[in-house]
Structure 1
Amino acid sequence: MTDKPQAPADKPSEQPSESLTPALEAQAVAEYLRAHPEFFVEHEDVLVELRIPHQRGDTISLVERQLKLLRERNIEMRHRLSQLMDVARDNDRLFDKTRRLILDLLDATSLDEVVIAVEDSLRQEFQVPFVSLILFSETATPVGRWVNSSEAQQAIGGLLSGGKTVSGTLRDHELDFLFGEEQRKEVGSSAVVALTHQGLHGVLAIGSRDPQHYKSSVGTLFLTYIAEVLGRIVPRFTNTLRSVR
């Protein structure tokens, strides 16, 4: 007996082509919108982002042009808002670090504690790679770094005369005085502020390896606050510190 020809085995069912997926998704979206006609009333922000052509021939209607402009402005405003939020968060963090440092300075019971609080906070909390706190005195002090008035005026008199925070790229001899010859080679930009209160008592300088980090237009409000507090606290602990003015 000859075997009867067998019916061809059923072919496995083919999976839907991936190219059909977008069409299926579009159909599902369309069905959802038909079932929920109030959707765009409750989600107007989505409506602004939709692209709804309203063309006659090869021309674009005024309505579509207006919607396009509104969409672009909406995206631009979102970017600006995001940038403002980033700045606000950064300022919040800076304020909190500054507040903790100022409280430590107010609690300090010696000049040694003042110097340690400033240097540790700026290096560890503020993540500043180069920190220089120099006190001005005609006689040697056992704490921190000190220089006499004539040496300070000769080296950085131009930075102290204005009474304001100076930021940007400093000259080599100024960097040598503030950070030392070895560190000066690594400093790309700096911010310098005098410690003043009824006289000039010292200088506080911070530096970055990035030449663009401390631009002349960069706000130095928090550094100025720290310096103002130091200008009032430092003279309390020693009578040997004198104004260079």
Structure 2
Amino acid sequence: MSPQSERTTDYSEMEQVVIDFLNKNPNFFERNPDILCKLRLPHTSGEAVSLIERQVTALREQGEQNRRKLDEFVAIARENELLNDRLHHLTVKLIECCDFDEVINTLQDLLHDDFRAEAVELHLYSTSEADAQTNPDLDGFREFLNSNKPRCGRFPTKQLKYLFGPQADDIASTALIPISGESLLGILAIGSHSEHRFHPGMGTDYLIRLGEIVSKTLEVVSEPGL
């Protein structure tokens, strides 16, 4: 090893010793203020500033970051509260429904108005239809139905055509919600013109609750033909 390499290694080891010491003794500079006053750190502007000034600046920046995070948390909390209110309103309205047509009309109206959905479609199948492996309507949806979990994002054109019909060309993102009743299965599809509205990484808790509410409601009404 060359003398230069040895000096570099020794310096790195010494630097780590200093770091470990300061971590274990955070009040070192309080006991030795004269050393603190002598320390100077380069500033991004090229001027030297004292360590205290640098610390104050860092604390201000950290405080601003914390404030932004707090604002984000507050916004999320408000959005969640709003979603809960909308789900409660939807639940009450669905409870008041007496037949299948009322359920469909209520879903269409409230999901359009309260949840700002551009397209809402409900596809239902009897259990025998859902179990039939030759049912072409369910091609591409069997894994989704078997998982019994909401799925969000962008879907192939063929699936969008089946879900939304003539509206498919305008749908940029979709939320699929499984419907599971005692004698039927189904897909509640909510479409948006914005590609950012529904995406794979979004939370699905409220979609799960929505699916449960619709499923329970459909258990007490009868669909024509089933």
Query: Could you state the TM-score of these two structures normalised by the residue count of structure 1?
Result: 0.66
User: What code does the residue aligned with 1:172 have?
Assistant: T
Match of 2:168 among 152, 169, 184: 184
- Once the two structures are TM-superposed, the CA of residue 225 in structure 1 deviates from its matched residue by 0.9
CA distance in 2, matches of 1:239, 1:209: 30
1:87-98 alignment runs, 5 A limit: 87-98=76-87
Instruction: Give per-residue Cα distances to partners, 1:35-83, cap 9 Å, x unaligned.
Output: xxxxxxxxxxxxxxxxxxx899963211111111110000111111111
Check 1:108–1:60 CA distance in 2 against 1; reply closer, same or farther (3 A cut): same
Matched AA of 1:96? D
Q: Give the superposition deviation at 1:172.
A: 1.2
**Is it true that 1:215 corresponds to 2:193 in the alignment?**
no
Q: How many residues align?
A: 180
**Structure 1 residue aligned with 2:53:** 64
**What secondary structure is seen at the aligned counterpart in 1 of 2:147?**
coil
| C-alpha contact (below 8 Å) 1:108/1:114 kept by paired residues | yes
Cα displacement string for residues 111-166 of structure 1 (whole angstroms, at most 9, x for unaligned residues):
11111111100001111101111222489xxxxxxxx5424423532332221101
Q: Is 1:119 matched with 2:108?
A: yes
Q: How does 1:66-215 map to 2 (within 5 A)?
A: 66-137=55-126, 148-149=129-130, 150-154=135-139, 156-180=141-165, 182-198=166-182, 200-215=184-199
Percent of aligned pairs with the same residue?
Answer: 27
Aligned alpha-carbon RMSD (Å): 2.5
Note closer, same or farther for the CA distance 1:101–1:239 as it changes in structure 2 (3 Å cut): closer
Which whole-Å deviations, capped at 9, do the CAs of 1:185-210 have from their partners, x for residues lacking one? 11111010111144642210111112
Secondary structure in 1 matching 2:141: helix
Q: TM-score, normalised by structure 2?
A: 0.72
Provide the residue aligned with 1:226 in structure 2. Answer: 210
Structure 1 residue runs of 5 or longer lacking an equivalent are 1-53, 140-147
CA distance 1:155–1:68, shift in 2 (3 Å): closer
Code of the residue aligned with 2:92 in structure 1: it is L
Bigger Rg, structure 1 or 2: 1
What one-letter code is carried by the residue in structure 2 that aligns with 1:88?
A: A
The Cα of 1:91 is off from its aligned counterpart by 1.2
Determine which structure has the larger helix proportion and give its number.
2
- Retained in 2: the 8 A contact 1:201–1:241? no
Cα separation, partners in 2 of 1:199 and 1:76, compared to 1, 3 Å:
farther
Cα 1:239–1:213, aligned 2, differ >3 Å: closer, same or farther?
Answer: closer
Runs of 4+ in 1 over 6 A off after TM superposition: 54-57, 239-242
Query: Do 1:197 and 1:228's aligned partners in 2 also have CA atoms closer than 8 Å?
Result: no
Q: 1:65 to 1:231 in 2, by over 3 A?
A: same
